[in-house]
Amino acid sequence: MSRNWFPALMAIGMGVFSGYYAFQPALKELQTEKDQSHRVQPPAPQAQQTSTSTGSSEHVTETNSKEGQQ
C-alpha cells in the first residue's frame, strides 16, 4: 500500500513545484503593482478634515483678536 502513495506524492510535489516555477514572475509583478498602488493613494479623508478644521479655527482666532485691537 505504501508503494502506491509514493508515485502520487511525487506527482503532487512536482505539480506544486512546476506551478510555483511557472507563475512566480506573474505573482511578483502583481505584488509590485499592489505595493505601488498603496504608496500612490492619498492619506485618509479624516486626516485632511482635521487639518482643515484646525487651520480655519486659527484664522477665526486671529481675526477676532485683530478686531478687538481696533
Domain ranges in the chain are 1-25
Give, in order, the Cα–Cα distances in Å from 30 to each of 18, 26, 35, 46: 19, 6, 9, 29
Mean pLDDT score across all residues of the chain = 75
Who wins on pLDDT, 49 or 25? 25
AA identity, residue 3: R
**pLDDT for res 24:** 95
Who wins on pLDDT, 63 or 30? 30
| CA within 13 Å, CB half, 51 | 5
Interatomic CA distance for residues 10 and 20, integer angstroms: 15
State percent of the chain over pLDDT 90. Answer: 41
